[in-house]
Structure 1
Amino acid sequence: MGRFQPPHDSHLHSIRVALEAAPRVLVLLGSANLARSVKNPISAPERARMLRAALRDAGAEVDRVAFRPLADRFDTALWVQDVQAAATRHFGAGAPVALVGHEKDASTAYLQWFPDWARVTVPFTPGLNATDLRVALFTGGDWPPGTPPAVQAWLEAFRRTRPAARLGREWRAVEAARAALPPGLPLHEERWLHVQGDAVWLRVRRNAIGDGLWELPGRALPPGEQPAVFTPHVFAHPARSLVAPAAAHVHLGPPPDDLPARPVPLGVALARPRHFFEDHHVILTRLLALRRD
């Protein structure tokens, strides 16, 4: 399992090692519920197509590999349950499962979260990472070594699309926002979740970061400042924000008058997770579940 944003030779090597170790391989494509962003520019179906093409070019038995989307939950326990459920659906209850991967940093800590599964360890390839590929995609740079030809071809075509142009603007805005942050101060934001009848109140972002996406109405607070009014609903997963880790304090009820929002049919909003900024769809579904309970 991984984000594969985008795939590179180290990913292909891990899948080929898995094919040598087992008759069937399941690849879970993470962040499948999130909108395109500089962190996750490529949809799950697009990543699956790239991986299939690159594996086929490498002579791998692609018919033994299944690709399935995996949502980001920003909650370790829920995410682990999703992974286990996906494995059970694919391999069957009680089937022996081995987890394939290598440990390199905090991004691979999840390998320790499945103690009941066997492990197939793949040697770490230093210097090869998807971040460099994304930078090349957004800046027009050369593809780094280790980019499969099939992936290069897809990325070259994607570079010419409107979504890629928007992501290029977003990348520059994110870099500028990071550079402007004072070091060492925690970041907080306030959001409001207002659901009335069959509608939820949302705003459309008009900002280079997340332009055109739905968000819960709210505002970022100055670095180091926290909300004046307490709320028990705080979302602070370190990976939830694009610019820098920031805690979202979510109030239940109508937003202030200076934060205009419009009603969106709740069913429409729930059915379109990839139309939301950052983790706002996850926040919406989590708090709706709490209300029902």
Structure 2
Amino acid sequence: MKEGPDSASPPAVYIGRFQPPHDAHIGTMLDALEHAPRLTVLPGSANLARSAKNPWTAPERIRMIRAALVERGVDARRVRFRPIPDEFDSVRWAAHVRAAVQTERAVLVGFEKDASSSYLRWFPEWTAHESPVTPGLNATGVRAALFGDREVEAVPPAAHAFLNDFRRTRTFRRLQAEHFALLAARVAWDGQPVQEVLLCDVRRDAVTLRRRTGAIGRGLWELPRLSGNAAPPEGARVFDHPSRSLVVPATAHVVTGRAVGERVPLALALARPHRFFEDHHVILRRMLGL
């Protein structure tokens, strides 16, 4: 594989969840390295707990990508990885991206397939490079095949081997159960907007949390919910990012107040984002002004 342009050219930047990395992802990276001397890969959702939507940690995804690129003859020194968190807020998220790239000149690679890739227009100071498109190939379909116990196709050999090993773990079985629970919940949804009221109870350096017991998010912490269909309280903080909920679109109305649940040291809770359901860790931080 050729070395690409001279080292003075700006680096390429590729943002994605890569859950998991498939052939189109690797093709985009190879194309980027044909046009830029270096590539910065930003695996997203790095702060979220494992779920059927985000089954693999940032280190696991980086391992699969790095191995797949080496398989294709890429010099690993030309590629660096900078995991970025989900903030469920475009301004905060874009700030993380810019901080990770650390350069004013860059080439942002990708193609705008739907609303999830609208971020490609959020960095006007960077040059855009449209990647080659592989019709019909997406990570959602790869995950569906994996959790449906079907043969996984269109992933590089290194990722295929990793996924086969993953199938034999307890984590896979838990997430497979969550996958089917999510499908059932979406089928049962009546299409009406979902509103939920959450309580943020922080007192004496501890926060009240509950552990989820159902198949969706089993064992994860969440902010306590008010039961029933009460109207959202006056003065509640609203969290309504379209990607915040795993099940169906939902708006969270968050208020401060006393709640029943497990009292967790606040410092411990803040240091463990991967133990929280959906965006509840982000909500806690925002409610505390962090």
Shorter-normalised TM-score: what interval?
over 0.9
Question: 1:71 is matched with which residue?
Answer: 85
Question: 1:141 is matched with which residue?
Answer: 150
Deviation, 1:220, is 6.5
Q: Confirm or deny that 1:86 pairs with 2:100.
A: yes
SS at match of 2:218: coil
Question: 1:157 is matched with which residue?
Answer: 165
Is the contact made by 2:37 and 2:78 (CA closer than 8 Å) also made in structure 1? Answer: yes
Aligned-pair identity (%) = 53
Is the contact made by 1:35 and 1:275 (CA closer than 8 Å) also made in structure 2? Answer: yes
- Output aligned runs, 1:134-213, within 5 Å: 134-144=143-153, 146-183=154-191, 185-213=192-220
Question: 1:20 is matched with which residue?
Answer: 34
SS at match of 1:218: coil
SS at match of 1:234: strand
Over residues 5-39 of structure 1, what are the superposed CA-to-partner deviations in whole Å (9 max), with x where a residue is unaligned? 00001110111112112221110000000000011
Is the contact made by 1:231 and 1:249 (CA closer than 8 Å) also made in structure 2? Answer: no
Over residues 263-287 of structure 1, what are the superposed CA-to-partner deviations in whole Å (9 max), with x where a residue is unaligned? 1011100001010000000000011
Q: Confirm or deny that 1:106 pairs with 2:115.
A: yes
Is the contact made by 2:233 and 2:253 (CA closer than 8 Å) also made in structure 1? Answer: no
Over residues 125-184 of structure 1, what are the superposed CA-to-partner deviations in whole Å (9 max), with x where a residue is unaligned? 11110011111121111113x21111111001011111111101101111111111113x
Unaligned runs of 5+ in 2: 1-14
Question: 1:230 is matched with which residue?
Answer: 234
Which of 46, 53, 57 aligns to 2:71? It is 57
- Between the aligned partners of 2:251 and 2:24, the Cα distance in structure 1 is 33
The letter for the 2-side match of 1:280 is H
- Between the aligned partners of 2:152 and 2:66, the Cα distance in structure 1 is 20
Is the contact made by 1:31 and 1:71 (CA closer than 8 Å) also made in structure 2? Answer: yes
Question: 2:287 is matched with which residue?
Answer: 287
Deviation, 1:228, is 4.9
SS at match of 2:210: strand
**Residues 103 and 265 from structure 1, CA distance in 2 versus in 1: closer, same or farther, beyond 3 angstroms?**
same
Is the contact made by 1:104 and 1:124 (CA closer than 8 Å) also made in structure 2? Answer: no
- Between the aligned partners of 1:228 and 1:79, the Cα distance in structure 2 is 27
Question: 1:11 is matched with which residue?
Answer: 25
Instruction: Identify the range of structure 1 (63-72 vs 212-221) with the bigger mean alpha-carbon deviation.
Output: 212-221
Question: 2:8 is matched with which residue?
Answer: none
Is the contact made by 1:210 and 1:277 (CA closer than 8 Å) also made in structure 2? Answer: yes
After TM superposition, the runs of 4+ consecutive aligned structure 1 residues lying more than 6 A away are: none
The letter for the 2-side match of 1:110 is Y
CA RMSD of aligned residues (A): 1.3
SS at match of 1:79: helix
The letter for the 2-side match of 1:131 is T
Question: 1:262 is matched with which residue?
Answer: 262
Question: 1:132 is matched with which residue?
Answer: 141
Which of 49, 53, 64 aligns to 1:39? It is 53
